[in-house]
Chains A and B, each alone.
Chain A
Amino acid sequence: MSADINKLEQVASQVRRDIVRMVHACQSGHPGGSLGCTDYFVALYFHAMKHDPSFNMDGVGEDLFFLSNGHISPVFYSTLARAGYFPISELATFRKINSRLQGHPTTHEHLPGIRVASGSLGQGLSVAIGAAQAKKLNKDNSLVYVLMGDGELQEGQVWEAAMYAPHNKMDNIIAAVDYNNAQIDGSTEDVLSLGNLRAKWEAFGWDVLEVAQGNDMAQVIAGLDEAKSRTGKGKPVIILLHTEMGKGVDFMMGSHKWHGVAPNDEQLETALNQIPRTIGDY
Chain B
Amino acid sequence: MKKYTYTESKDTRSGFGAGLLEAGKQNENVVALCADLIGSLKMNDFIKAYPERFFQIGIAEANMMGIAAGLTIGGKIPFTGTFANFSTGRVYDQIRQSIAYSGKNVKICASHAGLTLGEDGATHQILEDIGLMKMLPGMTVINPCDFNQTKAATLALVNHEGPAYLRFGRPVVPNFTPADQTFEIGKAVMLNEGTDVTIIATGHLVWEAIQAGEELEKLGISAEIINIHTIKPLDDDAILKSVTKTGCVVTAEEHNRLGGLGDSVAQLLAQRLPTPQEYVAVNDSFGESGTPAQLMEKYGLDAAHIVNAVRKVISRK
Contacts and interface: CB of A to CB of B under 8 A. Distances in A.
Contacts of A57: 73
B62 A58 contact: no
Interface stretch (A33-41, A119-127, A174-182, A261-269): A119-127
A107 interface: yes
Interface in B48-84: 52-53, 55, 57-58, 60, 62-76, 78
Contacts, number: 119
B66 A137 contact: no
Interface string B107-151: 000000000000000000000000000000000000000000000
A60 B96 CA distance: 26
Interface string A109-124: 0000001111110111
Nearest to B64: A126
A106 B102 contact: yes
Contacts of A64: 73
A129 interface: yes
Given A117-B98, A123-B98, A126-B98, A58 B67 contact: no
A190 interface: no
A137 B76 contact: yes
A9 interface: no
A115 B73 CA distance: 8
Main secondary structure of the interface of B (DSSP, over half): helix
A237 B53 CA distance: 24
Contacts of A167: 58
A172 to B, nearest CB: 12
B66 A126 contact: yes
A83 B65 CA distance: 31
B4 interface: no
A134 B73 contact: yes
Given A57-B73, A59-B74, A140-B74, A126 B63 contact: yes
A124 B53 CA distance: 22
A237 B27 CA distance: 32
Contacts of B63: 126, 129, 157, 160-161, 164
Contact of B53 (A106, A137, A140, A156): A137
A231 interface: no
A133 B63 CA distance: 13
Interface in A85-135: 106-108, 115-120, 122-135
Which of B70, B71, B72, B97 has the most chain A CB within a 10 Å cutoff?
Answer: B70
Contacts of A138: 74-75
A60 B74 contact: yes
A123 B94 contact: yes
A163 interface: yes
B71 A131 contact: yes
Contact of A120 (B53, B93, B104): B93
Interface residues of A, number: 39
A128 B70 CA distance: 6
A167 B60 CA distance: 14
B66 A161 contact: yes
B103 interface: yes
A163 B60 contact: yes
A117 B102 contact: yes
A108 B103 contact: yes
Nearest to B76: A134
Nearest to B100: A117
B31 interface: yes
Contacts of B70: 116, 126-134
A138 B66 CA distance: 19
Interface string A127-166: 1111111110110100000000000000011001101100
A189 B39 CA distance: 44
A129 B67 CA distance: 6
Nearest to A161: B63
Nearest to B75: A58
Interface of B: 31, 52-53, 55, 57-58, 60, 62-76, 78, 93-94, 96-98, 101-104
24 contacts: A57-B73, A58-B73, A60-B74, A60-B75, A64-B73, A115-B73, A116-B98, A117-B98, A123-B94, A125-B66, A127-B66, A127-B69, A127-B73, A128-B70, A129-B63, A130-B66, A130-B72, A131-B74, A140-B74, A156-B62, A157-B63, A157-B94, A160-B60, A161-B63
Given A126-B94, A157-B66, 8 more contacts: A116-B70, A120-B93, A120-B96, A127-B67, A127-B73, A129-B67, A137-B76, A160-B58
Interface of A: 57-60, 64, 106-108, 115-120, 122-135, 137-138, 140, 156-157, 160-161, 163-164, 167-168
Q: Which 6 A-B pairs have the closest CB atoms?
A: A130-B70, A126-B66, A134-B74, A160-B60, A160-B63, A130-B67
